Amino acid sequence: MAKGGYDGPLEKLDDCVWRIPKGYKSGMRVEGRIFADDRLMDQIRADQAPEQVANVAHLPGIQSASLAMPDIHWGYGFCIGGVCATDPEEDGVISPGGVGYDINCGVRLVRTNLMQDDVEGRIEALTNLLFGRIPAGVGKSGPYDFRGKDMKNLLRDGSKFLKTQGLATEGDLDCTEAGGGFDDADIEAVSQKAMERGKGQCGTLGSGNHFLEVQVVDEVVDEQAARAMGLVEGGIAVMIHSGSRGLGYQVCDDALRDMRKVPARYGIELPDRQLACAPVDSPEGRQYLGAMRAAANYAWANRQLLMWQTREVFEEFFGKNWEQLQMNLVYDVAHNIAKIEEHIVDGKPKRLCVHRKGATRAFPPGHRETPARYQQIGQPVIIPGDMGTASWVLAGQPASMERSFGSSCHGAGRVMSRTAAIKAAQGRRIDRELADQGIVARCRSWKGLAEEQPDAYKDVSLVVDVVHRAGLAKKVARLRPLGVVKG
């Protein structure tokens, strides 16, 4: 987290939105808007993330406002929880800092026909088996190795390539954002170093805030939407959170190095060099977008393979195949990505480049990109909390298109830096504290659990409540962790 708090202006527009006026800093092209309520504002003011919202408002071609979700906290260039849409026809730019290092980090939710009674007294054994089989941890490789032609196919097609290998189904693709792969990825824009880093990491969890959780649905708020998603109270589900691993990190690193001098080349003045950018339709902008899309395809494939391995573990543990267990994908959403989308601005349709960094899509009922099975309820929005409380599933609503370029928050949001969390955990056993709450946690290191302890995060219920009341997405169901696997 950044040191020092934000002492600039924040004007309350309504119960869920605050404004940073356009006149706050010279060069702001639009105002800043933060989705939050009074209960969250003290935490939001505690670091410099609102300053980053104001900085993003300087980007050429930015539309309507520089936005931030209620899980806002300090990030590289853009805050985590930042949303920014730029218009390529108005010299709009693409900024790697608006996507982040872990390109297409995202979350998928898998439902089952198991009930809590089916895992009663067995959750420790199940979690141990998952921990032993699911590759997790810094630099950890897995059972899949992609190189040469296979790596190029993976980067070009994402989960669609895995379907040709018998590692994904049509139903999996239907319930993955973008069908599990961008069609216009540019393999040639991905460096050899990035490919080398990714060859053995597809199908691995990684470290940091990535996790795999066995969860129980402990509250259903919207019966119709929950039914469409296959969620019932007391039902068992699995949530998987991971991204593009070392490959995506390298793609971002390469882009930031290559774009260092690009803003000056196009006469772009920025308040923060971490906002390095290029016009969307420039050679530099197209190269980054092509490489980012390839890394995003890798991330979708990574989560698909993590789910596939999870299905195999459940098959072994419960003695039934995954189809019998009805381990169907509810949905997979990206939350570190930039996409070309059509949105209405001032009554006119525009083709925009929408950056979502620590923010996820929340398309409403009837939207052409909302899967057919969710056309009546809206796209599922998956918001993980901390490993000691709960996560939420919501459904996108029409107001998201009007207020946030079809976006919602992506999680609870940190209130402690990793360093501060480790310091606060000295002399404690986070795994035992979780066990006292009935949660089995397995991690490769004490440090990994210390960094991700529940106290390091905002109260996810407050964050989700803002999203619900602002009309961006509606609450569907709350899921409580039973078993947690981390790197």
DSSP reduced 3-state for 74: coil
Q: Tokens at residue 209, please? A: 């805030």
Neighbour-count burial of 384, counting CB atoms closer than 10 A to its CB (0-12 exposed, 13-18 middle, 19+ buried): buried
| H helix or E strand, kind and range, residue 1 | none
For residue 410, indicate whether it is catalytic.
Answer: yes
> Of 306, 450, 258, 478, which is closest to residue 383 (Cα–Cα)?
478
CB count in 10 Å sphere of residue 29: 16
Q: What string of DSSP letters covers 468-485?
A: HHTTSEEEEEEEEEEEEE
| H helix or E strand, kind and range, residue 345 | strand 336-345
First to last CA, the chain: 22
Q: Tokens at residue 223, please? A: 């019966």
215 touches 388 (CB < 8 A): no
404 touches 471 (CB < 8 A): no
Q: Tokens at residue 289, please? A: 């977008």
What DSSP character marks residue 17? E
Rounded Cα gap, residues 316 and 136, in angstroms:
20
Q: What is Dmax (Cα atoms) for the chain?
A: 64
136 touches 445 (CB < 8 A): no
Q: Which region holds residue 459: left if phi is over 0, alpha if psi is between -120 and 50, else beta?
A: beta
Sheet holding 348-357, edge to edge: 11-14, 17-20, 31-35, 65-73, 80-86, 348-357, 336-345
Q: Which of 241, 343, 367, 410 is catalytic?
A: 410
In terms of DSSP bridges, do strands 65-73 and 31-35 run parallel, antiparallel, or are they unpaired?
Answer: parallel
Rounded Cα gap, residues 69 and 128, in angstroms:
35
DSSP reduced 3-state for 382: strand
| H helix or E strand, kind and range, residue 217 | strand 211-220
Active site residues: 410
